[in-house]
Chain A
């Protein structure tokens, strides 16, 4: 087993910086927005997370590929080990690539998978230097260049959600509680969590007019890009906010519900993308570690009077969730479904289900 030779390629940033690396993925030039993630595990989950749509991910953990990539086996029609059925990231930048891998569930190497999915990836780059650069100058456009150059491409200008959302209505499970799930780029693990309860999950497209249908709880998923691109979703939510049923939004879902309620969002300098974001439940001494992946945040100052901040980020005090003062509506900026990342806040799914149960109980009374 001789060391394979790797083709050289460069990473070019919007500000003109160039980093030389070696290719271990698909060999074609590509452009997107560059972001860094400080998680130490979970590259298959991150790469298939629809929220990374259009982005070139820099992983700060240096040794990547160690445990290979699992086969795309399915359970309840959902991919067992991935967060969606394809890689959404535009490219991958790491320090040290582990061509040899070993794990009981591995089916192929990371490099082979990236080649299959036509995703370019470079290693041999000082990812710490690159991360500091992004931290200091903010997220920026970038491109991976092999032979042919191409122009920068700002994914923020597109409606990325429309690219990752489901094209048809899919129903999972046959439980008593009917949950309408607005798919803005939903991660599989959210559906897996919801299906752990006595639920039927109805997954619909981001712009689907769900208002006219019968269900017991509304869920707004995570997804990529700038929330203001999802006009239709926001409009639909404005109508939903006139109803009584429980609503739970995660990440982009949180931002969309916030905008629908009258709050505003802004773009963070370099986003939160890691497994170690500390949040505190406002008004309590209870702190949790969370998995995050977002570039936009809800402006604390814009939170409407009928809502409370539910969680706050302990590092930078940015908003991490909202809770309605009267209605069973709450949201989180972080990912309680983890995958990848810590599972400390998975109890929030239980709270959503509890709210649905109470709502259904009341509904019976009303009827």
Chain B
């Protein structure tokens, strides 16, 4: 990055233990922030509730993918066996959902999995090759033994002073201004 001019985009607070991070998340949630996230080397039980996260919307993509797979399987077999090239096999009907079912079922799973994977990537805006958090050297230890809360400046409740004092109050061991 040849950043000629940088501006602050948020505050990053570091914590030493998962418990500290959980308590900090509760405080930030109760203070009413919406544009924020936590970072940890491993999943922490209860964090979803502490952050007031609702169910992931990935399930809708999975469901849509599964339904598409099921009906495209049925349609494919109907088209090939009954419409495009009708041929009697083993005295069976030209089309019935019975023998089309195993294929439709497999396609349900396949497109359901695609829906899950690509839905997740879409909702997370992945792939994302750059994040301003990479500018903070301290943040590298998030993959090892440190825990972080990041509050973005675009949050309506954000202000450089009050947000910093909130993070200090929650027991942060270091606070950095993230610049972009």
A joins B in a complex: no
Chain A residues at the B interface, C-beta cutoff of 8 Å: none
Chain B residues at the A interface, C-beta cutoff of 8 Å: none
